[in-house]
């Protein structure tokens, strides 16, 4: 059944995206619920997300998912009505439901049949929740779900054939974010939100005219946010015998009813108001659903109002095209530079130069705008973590306050995709090995709840992501001992290491922090992989630790991966590009400058030793016969400096990074290729991996 959902691929994609969104929201909110306890607003939000999920899964015809979300709704409703308290058991049960839902979503995505047996889980839902009827559609759920107190309809007699109109629910389901935010604003100004349902006489011959009059009258009485049929439909005479309008008004129910009834051919009118509870009233603390909804959605809605969803492939293609344009712009400038018909030689030449300059400017702007279009708030990634931290700390028996800051910071989606795993690893380290157990913390005179902080901020053209904790810190002695035990260095070498150098040992492969610091065997990737991933993104990572007070890891990343400024250098006939982010300076190299220390070449720059690496040797290329006119490109990454010896400096240029492709795969020392203005292909030097391969222990011992 599940695999044969009657749905188009496009709809399925939308469903999956929405489901993922709701699931992530639910996870984040349930984590908050666990901490906040009973929070009416939060519960309402959770309820709404679960309800949305139920609605879309029912539309899809996915019964198991609809059943489970329905059952969750019942539990949430009990929580909301305070018939149930958000105890650890209840929260865990909700998490379990979410896990099952996620499994189902994945099954749908993979086109698999869902095989999960829901019965055991449903049976454990508190009280009669599981025994409730299968979802009979939104109407039934809505009627039972929304508590009367929060938004009791103030109109409609109980015997009314249409039954109770649930104003709040209708506002939530019928109105867009923007409209709801408008309502929130209106309510704040003291207006009332209402739904006005008008029924025209069956024999009315000109309903469109009457409908127009209704809209006009309501427009005078307040602000019509939405109507069914809409104003356009009314104008186009697409009107039935019934009309519903959602409005904000200063008038009361009776006034509105009177106004509408005065219009001809109106058989009946129903007005329901949802009004902001005046402060000081018995239930004053509980705002109406519409208000709460609107207020929360307000800021977001303003932002979403004029956005469209775009396939990421389209953005990638645009980026590629802009990349081409950037290359051509550079080429055009080069041609003009070479041409004898430069500016001033003829009118046509002048025009060519001007046009070329203009194309250059427009290309730069276009590039910037498309880069912006690819930017996403890092929240998209960060919101996955609260649940993970919660589960981990529960498992480790630790009490942790997880703080997220700067989640609105934007960066290129390709970067966001790549840093998920490294961040997850760092957070896991903080929870598992950084923060101590409550007992240990108490003994150390710290509050028993530890803090793990995840923060993002912009700094020029970079983003800095910090993962920090107030745990025990890293004991460099233990790290050194572990490195010695594993044969990475001798005890004598270890003794000579500075604290910073000792800390850097953590990044050695085979020496994970876990083993080094706590003897608990590490799982998943080690810090060496974290650093490798960060460096692959042209970023850097730094560790700071204060024993007994905590550890901070700072990751510095470029905002985008696609285009970087690079220094072009030559090796023999070949041109290589070195990303400028890691270049600190260039020097002319004369043979006299080169010293040999422990069989390694080095030069002295401003009284410090700079190890040299001859790029032609790294890449197995023949040495240039004339080694006198060479240059040193001083690169700096992760606090390590290295001098790359090259044959010549070609210039600076913006380059579009292209992957070498799956066929060639990863090559140490190279991070990709780029196309130069003339159409030639240049390889891009991966400074991070060069520095790393040079930063062996012999060198650490040497420098100290």
Q: Which residues are designated catalytic?
A: 51, 73, 429
142 is an interface residue for another protein by CB under 8 A: no
Q: Which CB sits closer to another protein, 137 or 663?
A: 663
661 is an interface residue for another protein by CB under 8 A: yes
From 250, 509, 680, 693, residue interacting with another protein (rule: CB under 8 A): 680
Q: Which stretch binds another protein (CB under 8 A): 158-166, 586-594, 668-676, 691-699?
A: 668-676
Nearest-approach distance from CB 620 to another protein, in angstroms: 5
Q: Which CB sits closer to another protein, 294 or 323?
A: 323
Tell me how far CA of residue 685 lies from CA of 86, 536, 623, 652, 689, in angstroms: 55, 11, 18, 14, 9
Q: Which CB sits closer to another protein, 236 or 321?
A: 321
Give CA–CA dist 373/141, Å, rounded. 40
From 405, 664, 696, 704, residue interacting with another protein (rule: CB under 8 A): 664
572 is an interface residue for another protein by CB under 8 A: no
Tell me how far CA of residue 8 lies from CA of 154, 182, 314, 480, in angstroms: 42, 34, 21, 59
633: nearest Cα among 610, 608, 599? 610
- Side-chain-side CA neighbours of residue 629 (13 Å): 9
Give CA–CA dist 467/490, Å, rounded. 32
Q: Which CB sits closer to another protein, 337 or 662?
A: 662
693 is an interface residue for another protein by CB under 8 A: no
Nearest-approach distance from CB 670 to another protein, in angstroms: 7
Nearest-approach distance from CB 405 to another protein, in angstroms: 39
Torsion of CA 536, 537, 540, 542, to 10 degrees: -90
Tell me how far CA of residue 510 lies from CA of 48, 154, 523, in angstroms: 47, 69, 12
Q: Which stretch binds another protein (CB under 8 A): 39-47, 267-275, 630-638, 660-668?
A: 660-668
Q: Which CB sits closer to another protein, 258 or 681?
A: 681
Nearest-approach distance from CB 693 to another protein, in angstroms: 12
Nearest-approach distance from CB 522 to another protein, in angstroms: 30
Q: Which stretch binds another protein (CB under 8 A): 54-62, 80-88, 179-187, 671-679?
A: 671-679
137 is an interface residue for another protein by CB under 8 A: no
From 620, 622, 625, 626, residue interacting with another protein (rule: CB under 8 A): 620
Q: Which CB sits closer to another protein, 562 or 670?
A: 670
Give CA–CA dist 675/657, Å, rounded. 8
Q: Which stretch binds another protein (CB under 8 A): 128-136, 385-393, 521-529, 613-621?
A: 613-621
* DSSP letters spanning 184-231: HHHHHTT-EEEEEEEEE-TT-S-HHHHHHHHHHHHHHHEEEEEEES-H
Residues facing residue 192 across a β-bridge: 249
- Give burial (CB, 10 Å; 0-12/13-18/19+) of 232: exposed
- How many C-beta neighbours within 10 Å does residue 359 have? 15
Residues from 287 through 346 that contact another protein (CB under 8 A): 320, 323-324, 327
From 375, 634, 660, 697, residue interacting with another protein (rule: CB under 8 A): 660
Structure token pair of residue 584: 């600190």
Q: Which CB sits closer to another protein, 327 or 568?
A: 327
SS3 689: helix
Give the chain's length: 704
622 is an interface residue for another protein by CB under 8 A: no
Which x/- pattern over 497-526 shows residues binding another protein (rule: CB under 8 A)?
A: ------------------------------
Give the binding-site size for another protein (rule: CB under 8 A): 29
From 334, 451, 574, 586, residue interacting with another protein (rule: CB under 8 A): 574
| Phi and psi, residue 574, nearest 5° | -90, 150
Give CA–CA dist 647/615, Å, rounded. 9
Query: Which residues lie near another protein (CB under 8 A)?
Result: 320, 323-324, 327, 574, 618-621, 658-665, 667-670, 673-675, 679-683
């Amino acid at each position: 059944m599940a695999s044969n959902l009657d749905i188009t691929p496009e709809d399925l994609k939308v469903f999956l995206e929405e489901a993922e969104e709701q699931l992530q929201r639910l996870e984040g909110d349930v984590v908050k619920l666990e901490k906040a306890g009973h929070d009416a607003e939060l519960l309402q939000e959770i309820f709404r997300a679960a309800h949305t999920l139920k609605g879309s899964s029912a539309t899809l015809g996915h019964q198991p998912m609809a059943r489970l979300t329905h059952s969750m709704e019942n539990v949430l409703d009990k929580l909301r009505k305070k018939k149930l308290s958000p105890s650890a058991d209840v929260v865990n049960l909700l998490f379990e439901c979410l896990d099952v839902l996620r499994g189902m979503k994945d099954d749908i995505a993979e086109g698999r049949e869902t095989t999960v047996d829901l019965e055991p889980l449903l049976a454990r839902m508190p009280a009669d929740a599981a025994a409730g009827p299968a979802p009979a559609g939104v109407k039934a759920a809505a009627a039972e779900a929304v508590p009367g107190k929060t938004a009791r309809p103030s109109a409609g007699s109980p015997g009314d054939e249409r039954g109770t109109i649930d104003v709040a629910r209708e506002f939530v389901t019928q109105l867009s974010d923007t409209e709801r935010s408008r309502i929130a604003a209106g309510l704040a100004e003291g207006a009332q939100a209402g739904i006005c349902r008008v029924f025209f006489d069956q024999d009315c011959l000109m309903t469109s005219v009457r409908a127009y009059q209704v809209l006009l009258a309501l427009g005078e009485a307040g602000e019509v946010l939405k109507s069914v049929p809409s104003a356009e439909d009314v104008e186009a005479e697409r009107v039935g015998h019934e009309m519903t309008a959602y409005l904000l008004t200063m008038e009361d129910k009776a006034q509105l009813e009177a106004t509408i009834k005065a219009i001809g051919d109106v058989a009946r009118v129903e007005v329901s108001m949802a009004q902001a509870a005046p402060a000081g009233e018995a239930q004053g603390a509980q705002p109406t659903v519409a208000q709460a909804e609107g207020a929360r959605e307000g800021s977001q809605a303003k932002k979403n109002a004029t956005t469209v969803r775009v396939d990421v492939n389209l953005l990638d293609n645009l980026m590629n095209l802009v990349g081409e344009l950037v290359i051509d712009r550079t080429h055009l400038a080069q041609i003009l530079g070479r041409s004898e018909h430069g500016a001033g030689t003829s009118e046509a030449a002048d025009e060519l130069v001007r046009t070329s300059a203009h194309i250059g400017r427009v290309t730069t702007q276009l590039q910037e705008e498309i880069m912006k279009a690819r930017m996403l708030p890092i929240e998209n990634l960060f919101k996955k973590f609260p649940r993970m931290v919660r589960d981990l700390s529960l498992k480790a028996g630790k009490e942790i306050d997880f703080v997220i800051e700067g989640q609105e910071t934007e960066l290129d989606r390709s970067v966001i995709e790549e840093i998920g795993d490294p961040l997850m690893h760092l957070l896991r380290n903080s929870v598992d090995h950084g923060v101590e157990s409550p007992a240990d913390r108490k003994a150390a005179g710290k509050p028993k709840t530890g803090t793990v902080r995840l923060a993002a901020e912009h700094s020029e053209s970079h983003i800095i992501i910090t993962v920090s904790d107030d745990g025990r810190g890293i004991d460099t002695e233990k790290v050194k001992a572990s490195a010695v035990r594993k044969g990475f260095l001798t005890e004598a070498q270890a003794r000579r290491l500075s604290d910073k150098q000792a800390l850097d040992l953590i990044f050695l492969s085979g020496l994970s922090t876990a083993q080094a610091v706590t003897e608990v065997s590490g799982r998943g990737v080690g810090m060496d992989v974290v650093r490798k991933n960060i460096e692959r993104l042209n970023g850097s990572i730094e560790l700071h630790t204060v024993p007994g007070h905590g550890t901070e890891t700072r990751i510095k990343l470029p905002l985008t991966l696609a285009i970087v400024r690079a220094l072009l250098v030559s090796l023999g006939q070949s041109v290589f590009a070195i990303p400028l982010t890691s270049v600190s300076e260039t020097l002319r190299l004369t043979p006299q400058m080169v010293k040999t220390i422990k069989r390694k070449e080095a030069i002295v720059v401003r009284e410090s030793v700079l190890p040299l690496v001859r790029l032609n040797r790294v890449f197995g290329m023949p040495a240039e016969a004339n080694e006198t006119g060479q240059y040193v490109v001083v690169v700096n990454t992760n606090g390590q400096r290295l001098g790359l010896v090259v044959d010549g400096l070609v210039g600076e240029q913006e380059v579009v990074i292209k992957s070498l492709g799956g066929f060639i795969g990863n090559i140490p020392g190279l991070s990709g290729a780029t196309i130069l203005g003339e159409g030639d292909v240049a390889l891009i030097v991966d400074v991070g991996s060069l520095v790393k391969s040079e930063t062996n222990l012999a060198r650490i011992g040497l420098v100290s």
